[in-house]
A = this chain, B = another copy of it.
Amino acid sequence: MAARPLENYSRLCIHTITNKPWTLEQCIENYSRSGIGGVTVWRDALADRVIRKAGEEIRAAGLEIVSLCRGGFFPSREKAKREKAVEENRTMVDEAAELGAPLIVLVCGAEPGLPLEEARDQIRDGIARVLPHAESRGVRLAVEPLHPMYADSRSAINTLAQANDLCDRLASPMLGVAVDVYHLWWDPALRSQLERAGKAGRLFAFHISDWRTPTEDLLLDRGLMGEGCIPIREIRGWVEETGFRGYNEVEIFSTRLWQSDQHAFLESIKSAYLQHS
């Protein structure tokens, strides 16, 4: 078996939010020029654009559209808000179909003070109501468990075990999980739950970044691979042992990195991808 060529970015995907200062067009041009294989499109990057045309331009540049980020945010004490979330997610399924994105990543949601058990029930109900539309449009949904530090306001699904349980309950081939090392690296059950997800054929996406010490902001201080303590290569190994052959998606929210020169940052991403993932 031939070794993987040293400079091969064909399984590298970058989330547009990672280069937040760039427009979608700048992302397309610069990723394409670097030979990067895929892009995950954040919804804000599509604002004021004809979605179908954006999808055509991305593919014409030689990039595969890996997923559309991000749906979800189902729980609320107010029924009207829950209904609105379901509608919004159905709209997003249509947008993904127009864009040509095969997958939507779900940040499931939470509301401060709403009991987590209720939030989890509402998440399950919300996904169940979006799934038939997703199935009819051929768009898959991936539950992304979020780090427990987001259990107050972003997601009541905080471990891969919970995401697996949720998928078992809803039992659709169009529903799976998105695994992000930033959220899950600390979990002693990570490897066994990856195996479980792999066996169920539901490991739909793999996101990478790093955990910095100290982390100065709960949301916007992620590190580039190699800047922190996450054993990214080891976790990637576990992911690939399950048979996963999808992209390694770089998803970094960082005020610090967004303030830096984005061309230099892209070069750092490419280099870090080869060295640390």
Contact = CB atoms under 8 A, between A and B. Distances in A.
A5 interface: no
A266 interface: no
B188 A116 contact: yes
Interface string A192-211: 00000000000000000001
A228 interface: yes
Contacts of A112: 213, 228-229
Contact of A229 (B113, B186, B214): B113
Interface in A151-189: 151-153, 158-159, 162, 185-188
Count the copies. Answer: 2
A215 B115 CA distance: 18
Interface in A2-23: none
Contact of A228 (B120, B152, B229): B152
Given A147-B149, A148-B149, A158-B186, A115 B231 contact: yes
A52 B113 CA distance: 44
Interface string A101-142: 000000000001101100010000000000000000000000
B152 A149 contact: no
A78 to B, nearest CB: 17
Given A112-B229, A113-B229, A188-B162, A213 B148 contact: no
Contact of A148 (B148, B153, B229): B148
B149 A213 contact: no
A218 interface: yes
Interface in A70-102: none
Given A115-B231, A188-B116, A215 B218 contact: yes
26 contacts: A112-B213, A112-B229, A113-B229, A115-B231, A116-B188, A147-B148, A147-B149, A148-B148, A148-B149, A148-B186, A148-B187, A149-B149, A149-B215, A149-B218, A152-B211, A152-B213, A152-B215, A152-B228, A153-B213, A153-B214, A158-B186, A158-B187, A159-B188, A162-B188, A214-B218, A216-B218
- Nearest 3 pairs of A and B residues by beta carbon: A151-B186, A112-B229, A112-B213
